């Protein structure tokens, strides 16, 4: 018999987006779905169902893929919460919260990711960089939307 250590993860990252909360929220939904890509720019085929209980999953076609999370709370344009295994194909549970607040003519986006389980070292360290990349892409998407 072997035993593995249970780990926790707690990440908080914030950015200011130069757009309204409505535009920033739409940019989040776009990044979770059709605009999703890997840090190297390679498309990452994700689907996102923007309603309570909706799924967030990697769509590999022909009814194959990987379930990432369910929508726990959705209150456009201020709050989105997701829970599920995310990218972890082992015993773990994740909670991700996107909280948006107006700040002058901009929007402050606070992302919180909490997890617990048999989280491997690669995921514990790589997820920080991954979220920073995702937030940068959301910021760019919102900037494009706001300039239209």
The answer, yes or no, to whether residue 2 has pLDDT greater than 80, is no
CB 86 within 8 A of CB 115: yes
DSSP H stretches of helix in the chain = 21-32, 121-146
Average pLDDT, stretch 4-18? 95
pLDDT above 70 covers a percentage of the chain that reads 99
Q: What is the pLDDT of residue 22?
A: 98
User: pLDDT tens for residues 126-142?
Assistant: 999 999 999 999 999 99
Q: What is the pTM of this model?
A: 0.94
Q: How confident is the model at residue 36 (pLDDT cuts 50, 70, 90)?
A: very high
CB 132 within 8 A of CB 13: yes
Share of the chain above pLDDT 90, in %: 86
Give the pLDDT confidence of 40-95 residue by residue, as tens digits. 889 899 999 999 999 999 999 999 999 999 999 999 999 999 999 999 999 999 99
- Average pLDDT on 115-134 reads 93
């Amino acid at each position: 018999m072997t035993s593995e250590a249970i780990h926790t993860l707690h990440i908080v990252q914030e950015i200011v987006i130069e757009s309204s909360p409505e535009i920033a929220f739409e940019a989040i939904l776009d990044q979770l779905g059709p605009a999703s890509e890997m840090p190297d720019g390679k498309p990452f085929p994700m689907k996102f169902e923007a309603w309570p209980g909706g799924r967030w999953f990697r769509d590999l076609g022909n009814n194959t893929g990987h379930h990432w999370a369910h929508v726990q709370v959705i209150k456009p344009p201020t709050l989105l919460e997701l829970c599920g295994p995310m990218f972890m194909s082992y015993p773990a549970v994740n909670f991700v919260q996107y909280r948006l607040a107006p700040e002058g003519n901009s929007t402050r986006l606070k992302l919180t990711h909490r997890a617990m389980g048999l989280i491997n070292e690669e995921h514990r360290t790589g997820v920080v960089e991954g979220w920073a990349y995702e937030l940068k892409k959301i910021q760019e998407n919102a900037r494009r939307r706001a300039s239209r």
